[in-house]
Structures are given as C-alpha cells and as structure tokens.
Structure 1
Amino acid sequence: MLWVFIKDRLLYIVCIIVIVLLAVSLLMLEMARYPGMVEPGTVYYFLLLALVALIAWFTADYYRQRYFLKQVKEALARTNDLQASAIVTAGVTGEQRLVMELLQEQHRAFLGELSRHRRSQELHNHFALQWVHHMKTPLSVIHLHMQEGAERGWSTEEEQRAMAASVLEETERLTRGLEMMLHTARLDKFELDTHIRRLPLHELVRTTINNHKRLLIRHSIYPKVEGELWVESDEKWLVFVLQQLVSNSIKYSKHKPGSKTLAFRLRELEDGKAELAIADEGIGIAPQDISRVFDAFFTGENGRTTGESTGMGLYLTKKVLDKLGHGVKIRSELGAGTTVILTFRPAGIHVMA
C-alpha cells in the first residue's frame, strides 16, 4: 500500500528534487561569483531542510489517505462480493470524492438493474408454475375421456360427438396456453422478433374470430365486425393480442345464459389515430379491480368466480402493446360487459418502446 502511494507520487518527487537542485545550482553560481557571500554550510542546511520538508509532507499526506487506500485494498480483496465498492467511503481529495461518487452512482444503477432482473425472473418462474397448474386441467379432462372410452366405450353417436367436442376444446386450451408461454419467452428479445408493416386490422380480427368460432358457437356468442382499418404494427404480436382479448371475452361471457354479442368496432379518429373497440356482454369487472387488471397475476373477483384466470393474459397484452407503441384502456360495468379499446398511432409515426 505504501509502495503504491510512493509510486503514484514519483513524478512529484522528481519535480521537487529537480527544483531543489536548480536552487542549489543557483546558490553555487552565486558563491563562485561572490566568494564568501554564501557559506557552504548554508547550502547543506538548505538541502537538509528541503529533504525534511519533503519527507514530512509526504508522510502527512500518506497518513491522511491511508484509510482510503486501506478501504480500496479491502474492496479489491472481496472480488466475489457485489457490495465491495460500497465500503470505499473515505476519500479525502477532490479526485477521490469524484471517483467515490461515480462508484456510488454505478452501484445504485447496478442494484436497480439487478432488482429488475430478479423481479422479471420471479414473474417468469411464477408464471411457469401458474401455467403448469392450469395446463393440468385440460390434460386431466382429456385423460378422463380417454379412460372412460377405454373402459366402457360410448354407446351412442351423440356421446361420441360430445366427447370429441370436449377433447377438442381442451386441446385448444392447451394450444393457447403453449402460445402464451412461447410469446412470454420471446418478450425478452422483442426487438429481434418484430417486423412493422401496414396491416389490414379488420382481416386480422376476422381471422381471430375464425380461430375461436367453435367456442363462440358453443357458448352462443355472436361476433359482429363494424368498419375496416389499416394500421402499422407487427402481425404476429398483434394477432397474439387479439387472441388474448377474444379468449378473455369468451371466458367471461360463456357463463351468462342466452345469446351474447361480441362487437368489434374499427374507426379512424379525428387526430389521425385509429381505434379498435372490442365489446363483450359478459359478467364485467368489479369497479375496484379495473385499475389492476394489467398487473401480473392479478385475477380479482372474476378469477375467484370462474377459477380459470392466470392473471397473465392482460398483463402480457399490455406489455406487448407498450412495446409496439399502441395504447390500451378498459371500460367495464359489472354484470353488463367489458370494452377493451386499442389505439394505434397515425401511419408513419410508429415508435417502438
């Protein structure tokens, strides 16, 4: 530690020695020009004083900075400790204090990034557990049907059709669950998996409806598409969002008796933006839950009522739309239905988050 201190000030020492030697040289010249003006002992005394002053100054400076150097040495020894830089707190010079301030800012930034990473990892792990739990249900239903068929068979064609329809519905649930898991994994590399282009939104809506037509028919939900619209977005991610929203509408509408309407209204706004409103006639959302529907794993009253919610559908929808630069908001009336409104920027003004 002492050698590091001396080595760091070697240039200062050399400069001071050069200055002292120059001063002595001038005195020697004066002695040569004016004999007897300066005694040789005076020169030796000057050299001794200069040496003592130099040693005293460096000794005092070393003891002043010794604690700081000790802290740095201890921090360097703790190579596997992420908090090591936090122990360096005894800077005495302006440069040292600037370095400490930089270290503290970097440390805070690192801890913030680490916290975000841990939160993301916790969300991913929790979602994986939730996903596995929810995927067990359709697998159990399919296994039960197959076991029943193997043991006693199906006596009538109607029973066979009912079994096939049930198995198909559970298979579709598995497919949607797998798609959600895959898209969740891709969110971390969103920018590498995105291609923005002009898309016919009305056609994507109709494709999404067609993908859910079996469930819509089974639960007496009748889709209605109003208007046509072209928007700039990524087709794959936008279809994922539409699938989540339609799936949610079906999930929370099927328990209401009678026929229901699922309306898709596409229109251009006066400010050049475009809007898609998806309105169902389901059970609606409790007023106290509206502000939290986009939170991860939040299921609210509906989750406790239906038992089918993962709390991830709307969370992922919001994340994807934010990254695409689209807006989303929800209006709902308990017992009357829910309307989800997607807002798209004007053409050519797309900025991906």
Structure 2
Amino acid sequence: MKLIDFIADRIGYIAIYLFNILLVVAVVQLAMLPQGLSIQLDNLLYIGVLCVAGVATYLLIDYVRQRAYYKKLLAIESHPEPLDRINSFPEGVTREQEFMAKLVRQLHSGVENRLTHYRKQQEQHDVFIRQWVHQMKTPVSVIDLLTQQADEETDTRETLQSIQEENDRLAHGLDMMLQTARLEKFELDVHIHKVNLEQVVRGVINEHKRACIRKGVFPKLAVDQEARYAETDEKWIAVIFRQIVSNAIKYAKNTSGEAGKQLEITLLHKGDGVRAVFRDTGIGIPGHDMPRVFDPFFTGENGRTTGESTGMGLYLVRELCRKLGHRIDIQSAPGVGTTVTIHFPPASVLHDVLRR
C-alpha cells in the first residue's frame, strides 16, 4: 500500500483531529474575551504546526509499522491457487488485523473440512458406481444366457424363473442406487409421523416372497400391541427393513438337508420406546468383521464368499437410522445367525433429535 493510500484511508480521522484543534482554540479564545485577552497569531500558528507535526509523525510511524504487513498481503496475490493465498495470510500488526487473520484461518479450516467431506463423498460415490455397475453386469449376462437357452428348450418355465431371479437382483441393485443417491438430499424428502410398523414389515416380506421361497427362508412376525406404531418416516423405514430382510435372505445357510431357515421379526415395546428385532439363522458374521460392518464398501468375509455384496447395504441402513433419529444394534456369530435391532425412541426424544 502506498503512503497516499494509507493517508486517504484515514482522512476522516485527520479531519476530526484538526476540527477538534480548532474547536479547542475557539473555546480558549472565547474564555479569554471577557478579560480583554486574545491568542496571538504566531501562537495559533505554533499550535497548528505542533498538532499537524504530531499527527503526521504518528501516521508515518504507523505506516512504517504496517508496511511489511501490506507487502505480504500484496505478495500473496501472486499465488495462483486461492487456498495457497489463505495459507500465506500474514499475522496482523494491530489487534483488528490479528482478529481478521484468525477469522480467515477459521474460515479456511471450515472450507477445508467441507471440501474434505465432499471429496470423501465423491470418492465413495465413484467406488459405489463402479461396484454397482459390476454387480449389474452379472444379472444382465445371466439373463442373456438364459434367453439363448430358452430358444433351444421347449419347457421354458425353469428358465423364466431364473430370469425372474436375476430381474429381482437388478431391481434390488437399482433400488440401492436410487436410495444412496437420495441420501445426500434426505432432508428434502422426509415426513415424520405415526407409522404402522406391522403393515410396513408385512409389505416388505411380501416383496421378498419369491426370494424367501427360493432360499427356503420362513419369515415369522410377532407384534406387541403397543409396538404396532412408531414415529418415523414410512418410506425410509421401509428401505431400512427391506435391506435387513434382503441381507437375511442373501446370507441364509445353504446346507443341504436343512429343515428350514428362520427369519423372526419381532415388534416389541420397551420402556425407552419401540424396537424392531430381526433375528435370522443364517451364516452369521465373523467376529473380526463386526467392527466394520457399517463401513461403506466393506464386504467382509461373507461378501467375498457370496460375490453379490456391494458393502453399502448396512452403511445405508446406519445412515438412514442416524438421520431419522433411530439407533441400530447388530449382534452375530458364525453359524448361529444375526440379530439386527432398530430402536425407535419416544416421539418427544425423536423430535428433539431431528431439530438439531
């Protein structure tokens, strides 16, 4: 900053200072008039010169003191990257400049955190898209092969059933893709009200009826009278239930001669609210995978075995529960099965959570 610019920024202070000097001289002169006295012209000039010299000296010293700071501000303009300019922001000379530097760094830190968050989201989205496309290629290839075989066979019933299975997998993958995409704008598509959980669970079971028959899974629903309703979003809680039931069917035991694979769904009421408990007798989750089951893209030992997992199912469930103000617990043991519990808090607690 040039000296003339420095002075121009403080012209108001200088004008007020000079006006106050004139005001003081006028008051002294008026006080001396009753005594027949007056201030001599040379004294007035002397007072004026001293005052102007004093304020000029202060401004010059202040300019020299802040010149290095202004040079650093001019220097950071040469950085092509805006964030590099913020990193090079100099320490202030005055308290006001120090506060401004602190505020700029706080804003920079907030922007960096937000960019890191969005960058991580974008990376997760890219990984999910690649995995999703890979998963969708398999049903498409199988359907293409089955249609070729159907041309050579007279009985196409079994072929059509196989095509239906692959179509269900396609539909589930597309639904997963759609729900994950909507997760970022969740607050624009949520409506909390009293929902009939029993009705939602029965609807989800009916959606998976063919898959249950195919895998030999027998769902069983038990409902406490007080646990039939809970405060939640009907569409999103259906997505949560759908994913949990889908996992229970996907990882059902494949042991030959098995009498039956159970999927027990219980809606019960506890003192702290309603709970939806999904208990299956599937292959279970190894203990070393349990701490990471909610991490995005983590398929674990079971996912690598089945080859159908994207690692996004439980992550989506956990995120939806968090956004809805619900809590999810999962317990599992290899060869025994898995129990997933969704906790619905009382309405007053839920509304407090959603307002935050």
Matches within 5 A, 1:85-100: 85-100=86-101
Q: Could you list the per-position Cα deviations for residues 221-241 of structure 1 after superposition, in whole angstroms to 9, with x for gaps in the alignment?
A: 111111242111111111111
TM-score (norm 1): 0.90
- In 1, the alpha carbon distance for the partners of 2:251 and 2:281 equals 9
Matches within 5 A, 1:1-353: 1-2=1-2, 3-22=4-23, 33=36, 43-75=44-76, 81-150=82-151, 153-155=152-154, 157=155, 160-228=156-224, 229-257=228-256, 258=258, 259-271=260-272, 273-351=273-351, 352=354
> Are 2:150 and 2:159, in contact at CA under 8 Å, matched by a contact in 1?
no
SS at match of 1:278: strand
- Percent of aligned positions with the same letter in both sequences? 41
- In 2, the alpha carbon distance for the partners of 1:162 and 1:299 equals 31
Cα distance, 1:193–1:26 mapped onto 2, change above 3 Å: closer
Q: Which runs of 5+ in 2 are unaligned?
A: none
- In 2, the alpha carbon distance for the partners of 1:338 and 1:287 equals 12
By how many angstroms is 1:76 displaced?
A: 6.1
Q: Could you list the per-position Cα deviations for residues 39-76 of structure 1 after superposition, in whole angstroms to 9, with x for gaps in the alignment?
A: 76555444333333322211110111122223334456
- In 1, the alpha carbon distance for the partners of 2:162 and 2:192 equals 38
Cα distance, 1:254–1:218 mapped onto 2, change above 3 Å: farther
Q: Which amino acid aligns with 2:280?
A: D
- In 1, the alpha carbon distance for the partners of 2:319 and 2:99 equals 39
- In 2, the alpha carbon distance for the partners of 1:185 and 1:81 equals 31
> Are 1:67 and 1:90, in contact at CA under 8 Å, matched by a contact in 2?
no
RMSD: 2.4
> Are 1:199 and 1:235, in contact at CA under 8 Å, matched by a contact in 2?
yes
Q: Which runs of 5+ in 1 are unaligned?
A: none
SS at match of 1:173: helix
Q: Which amino acid aligns with 2:305?
A: T
> Are 1:27 and 1:43, in contact at CA under 8 Å, matched by a contact in 2?
no
TM-score (norm 2): 0.89
Q: Could you list the per-position Cα deviations for residues 210-254 of structure 1 after superposition, in whole angstroms to 9, with x for gaps in the alignment?
A: 111111111111111112421111111111111111111111115
Q: Could you list the per-position Cα deviations for residues 136-181 of structure 1 after superposition, in whole angstroms to 9, with x for gaps in the alignment?
A: 111110011112334xx114x3xx2221111101001110111111
Cα distance, 1:297–1:182 mapped onto 2, change above 3 Å: same
Q: Which amino acid aligns with 1:309?
A: S
> Are 2:327 and 2:343, in contact at CA under 8 Å, matched by a contact in 1?
yes
